[in-house]
Structure 1
Amino acid sequence: MNKASSESGLSFYYGNEKSLISLIKEKTQLHNRNNITRTEAYYHFYKNHSEVHWALLAHMVSRNAGYQMTDLKGEFLTRLLNDEQRFPIYWALETANSLIFQDVYPQLLLYEERKRARRSLFHLLPGLETSAFMKPIWEHFWHSQESRILTMALIINEQNFIDDRVVHNNNHAKLAGIRVTRFNDLASRIETGKHLYRQLFHERLQPCILRFADQQPQIA
């Protein structure tokens, strides 16, 4: 959405609502500087709102992307792959993670404000350029606190969000050469997200995962 259409959309909201939307967008831009700031923002949010399981999933996926991005610039892969081979992979990781953060972090901040203000705010989601698919999901979550349903919805929404923008972007055809099983397959990526979620919140694994997240700094 371009700036003109975004400003036109804001005309439907009251002054304080416009201010809140602007503040959320500013905070999102601030934390979307790089993969480290994104990863830290997800975990900080999860620590304050642990009912939103997706934030921990996003934190761990973002961590993993950081390790891969570091490897792509490291000593060994620079010997094995030339710049032309490494750049598309690095670009895909950075762009996909940045786009997902740009889309979902405003939703998280609006939920946080909804808790603080104790009044309905999800009607502001269109002003944050959020898919109409997510508004009833957030409303349902607010009343039910069913973490799994919200997580599944966000996995599906975010994978669809990046599908055309990154995975099937004609300017990024070289991504097809990455050795990731069925990366171009939307359904496969969604199933991978669901599988990771089940692992992260397994009752025996989660304490170890949280200790790791607390103790190990994000490197990229």
Structure 2
Amino acid sequence: MTKITVFIVEDDPMVLDVNKNFLSKLTGFELIGESQSGENAFKQISRKKPDLVLLDMYLPDISGIDLFLKLRNERIPCDVIMITAARDAKTVQEVIRMGAVDYLVKPFRFERFEKALQNYYQVSKKISSASTLAQEDIDQLLGNENEQITSLPKGLNDITMKQILDGLVEVDGSITSEQLAQNVGMARVTVRKYLDFLANNGKVQIDLKYGSVGRPTKYYSIK
């Protein structure tokens, strides 16, 4: 999967720098433009057509919602994550109805920013790699799965699980447990234990690849 192109719309130079710094820490994303006003942003986005727009609500000329509406009315193919201090229920509801993929309330920590973009990356990867989607795939993309991993069994912990998942997300395609263990700096037996748990819970896909001799090799990828 190629890098996800990102355009940032933010009128505060300090916040703009923070968002750019946060984005630079993530793999799989490329910043292709920025703007501090709505009208200028609309012109650039129309021309550059980024995959994702990080959009502030309060701009000096038009509101973030007005810009969002213009993008939708012109059918410009981009997704939007709203990044704003606005937290009133009416505004949040309106943005959700317009189709924002996430909503970050300022000020926010890097971890929340990272979560929003990694979730978007996984959804984009899933859609771009498939010509058709089954109902269970759509449920997963929309967060409507009936079975969620609510707690980890004894012997597994959240921090290691996050490292394993981050390692899988960074891979363009599938990877063996040995390769993943080397990438994340863990023992192979530890990585295999987490991968087996994820596979049993439907979060990871296993593909068998056969060589000329011996047993097939397991390759893992995020569903």
Same-fold call, TM cutoff 0.5: no
Q: 1 or 2, which has the higher strand percentage?
A: 2
Rg comparison, structure with higher value: 2
**With structure 2 as the length reference, what TM-score do the two structures score?**
0.26
**With structure 1 as the length reference, what TM-score do the two structures score?**
0.27
